[in-house]
Structure 1
Amino acid sequence: MVWGIDFSPKGTEALYVEHEGKLLIEIELRSMMQIFNSFDPAPFHEKELDASAEVYIYNSVGEFPLKKPLELMVYLPSSEIGTDTEETLRNAIRYHFSYKKLLTDIELRKILQRGRRNMTIAFVFLFLCLLMIRLLSTLQGGLLKTTFSEGLTIIGWVALWEPVNVFLYGWWPLVQKKNIYTKILGMDVKVNSCSQK
């Protein structure tokens, strides 16, 4: 329990309640304001979610395959539920995660741009290293020449590691994060009374 929000760990699908064919990600609040960042002065539909609520929703959705149908159920006291409560919460959650998805898109573009730039630099550097090795091969043999040649070979190939790492592994976590945000944006958000939990 963090700040009145029920963040009990539920590690397997069997521990989640199912409702109309969808697994429920449940949050119980004492008041609607608990789900929002208390330091954010923006209107309801633009307010930033509380960090604990964001992490809980994100991690819960991330536990399941992207195709698994999920629904977010927010429990509130009856006195906190009005005619527009559900719509207000739905809009606030979608606004928040839309912004997070946008930031992830920007970060993904930046990392791919950096990877392309660094790959170009690394190939030019490798070419220069190989050119110097070729020039050294015209000199008389010796330990110093061999040391320089081997060193340039190693340095040239090591220069490729960072851009290769970006294209092989670096961008996948961002794609996964983006997919989870997209999944959250497609989820139904419902509000129910705590007494009906």
Structure 2
Amino acid sequence: MEDTGDTGAIALRLTDSAQLFNTLDPFPFRERDLAPDAEQYILDWAQDLPNNQPIRIIVHLQSADPDRHRDADLQQAIKGWFRSREAGEAREMKTLFRDGRIALSVGFVMLSLFMFLSWAVAQNYDNPFARVISESLVIIGWVVLWRPAEMFLYDWTPILRRKRLFRRLAEARVTVHHAGRPGEWPADAA
């Protein structure tokens, strides 16, 4: 990224717009996948930008002949890619919470079973070894709830953070500039 004078801007200088896209993707612009390196470059810079500021993505192309339709397709492709990534993160969060509910249900059933077994051992045997077994069953019962608790308390936050970043990138103002003569950039390109 270069210093654009705009703290919310990510600038890309490319020889050709095809550099942004996955070369193995056969679809036209609007549905194309961003190249992994291009996506990672944009994400790395976007993560460093202030959260309260809109993002601008400025694509500088060396081609001197602008094609409005192609530029519009490029803008839509970038926005569409991040929109689809946001939707993917929403699906991942929904799946996480569904799996969490299942794991929590299984965890409570297992906790109840281990607590019952602990109680049965404590009621039927009165020796130090039985006490160790009884306490171990209680500990195992609580450990079974560890993963569901982790899912609901911690696992969703990085997904939400990525989802918000992808939303900001999907809403970013994407501008495409063409080089023209050397040193001749439009006023808002810098």
Q: Is TM > 0.5 for Structure 1 vs Structure 2?
A: yes
Once the two structures are TM-superposed, the CA of residue 80 in structure 1 deviates from its matched residue by 5.1
Once the two structures are TM-superposed, the CA of residue 97 in structure 1 deviates from its matched residue by 1.2
> 1:71, 1:137 → 2: CA distance?
66
3-state SS in 2 of match to 1:72: strand
Number of equivalent positions: 182
Matched, 1:90 2:75: yes
User: Which range is displaced more, 121-130 or 61-70?
Assistant: 61-70
Alignment of 1:111-190 (within 5 A): 111-190=96-175
Segments of structure 2 that go 5 or more residues without pairing to the other structure are none
Segments of structure 1 that go 5 or more residues without pairing to the other structure are 1-7, 9-14
- Cα shift readout 1:29-88 (whole Å, capped 9, x = no counterpart): 011111111110001111111111111112211112322122100000133522223311
Matched, 1:39 2:24: yes
Task: Indicate conservation of the 8 Å contact 1:115/1:167, yes or no.
Answer: yes
> 1:80, 1:152 → 2: CA distance?
74
Once the two structures are TM-superposed, the CA of residue 140 in structure 1 deviates from its matched residue by 3.2
> 1:110, 1:70 → 2: CA distance?
29
> 1:122, 1:144 → 2: CA distance?
26
Once the two structures are TM-superposed, the CA of residue 141 in structure 1 deviates from its matched residue by 1.1
1:77 to 38, 62, 75: 62
Task: Indicate conservation of the 8 Å contact 2:58/2:176, yes or no.
Answer: yes
Q: TM-score, normalised by structure 1?
A: 0.86
Task: Please provide the CA RMSD for this pair.
Answer: 1.7
Alignment of 1:18-29 (within 5 A): 18-19=5-6, 23-29=8-14
> 2:97, 2:43 → 1: CA distance?
24
> 2:77, 2:65 → 1: CA distance?
16
> 1:85, 1:60 → 2: CA distance?
25
Task: Indicate conservation of the 8 Å contact 2:21/2:33, yes or no.
Answer: yes
How high is the sequence identity, in percent, across the aligned residues? 27
| AA matched with 2:125 | Q
- Cα shift readout 1:75-117 (whole Å, capped 9, x = no counterpart): 0013352222331111111121121111111111111111111
> 1:81, 1:49 → 2: CA distance?
21
